[in-house]
Structure 1
Amino acid sequence: MSIEITVLFEILPDRLADTAEAFGELCAATRQEEGALRFDAWRSEEHENVIVLVEEWADQPAIELHMKEPYVADFLAKVEGAYVRPPYVHRLRPLAA
């Protein structure tokens, strides 16, 4: 069974454009990873400064490998200080589980 994760990021208004660009770069690179089944960033229609990351991974080792990629460190450096509050992470499981 794959691992699904959704992360909500509330971005400071003056950092929205550069943060959205950084997410685009991160998504493009991550989608090339073997264990990344889905990695998409979305803008909330209800909350202008919220970006939602939707991820699906083959397994936990794929996530761990992803976190070690140099472009992840580059992304984290680019978005440092861009959030209103820490990201809100949802690691999902089926209701029946």
Structure 2
Amino acid sequence: MSEITIVGSLRAQPGKEAELGAALADVIDPTHAEEGCLLYAVHQGVDDPTRFVIIEQWADQHALDVHVRSDYMSVLLSRAGDLLAEMPDSPKYAPLRHGTSPKNTLGGARA
């Protein structure tokens, strides 16, 4: 199977930005420890602090499936209704490796 990139977009309920940020922070270390996790980076909007984006890269679909079924992700997902203003958007992408620069993909030189 091939590498998978997810660009997840989330919007916190107004006033819940810090709580959502803390909930997302709670899953970073265990996610990084997962086999198959190549990248898991959480960012908060500068112009709109209710906006969050999670950029994830997984070695393959199996690694992503294991991640989604983890206990800590279940806890995070159970809190989503209280923290999110709308359903998250989490499309999957496959990298297109054109050219020779390591800046061509999120994985950089790993590619």
| TM-score, length-scaled by structure 1 | 0.88
2: CA distance, partners of 1:15 / 1:39: 22
Deviations 1:13-61 (A, max 9, x none): 2211111101001112101101111111101122221010000000000
% of aligned pairs identical? Answer: 22
- Equivalent residue, structure 1, for 2:50: 49
- Equivalent residue, structure 2, for 1:63: 64
Stretches of structure 1 that go unaligned for 5 or more consecutive residues are none
- Say which structure is richer in strand: 1
One-letter code aligned to 1:19: L
SS of equivalent to 1:22: helix
Report the Cα offset of residue 95 of structure 1: 8.6
SS of equivalent to 2:43: strand
CA-based RMSD of the aligned residues comes to 1.7
Relative to structure 2, which stretch is displaced further, 42-51 or 75-84? Answer: 75-84
Matches within 5 A, 1:1-97: 1-93=2-94, 94=96
Distance of aligned partners of 1:32 and 1:95 in 2 relative to their CA distance in 1, 3 Å threshold: closer
Q: Give the conservation status (yes or no) of the 8 Å contact 2:19–2:83.
A: no
Count of equivalent residues:
96
| TM-score, length-scaled by structure 2 | 0.78
SS of equivalent to 2:87: coil
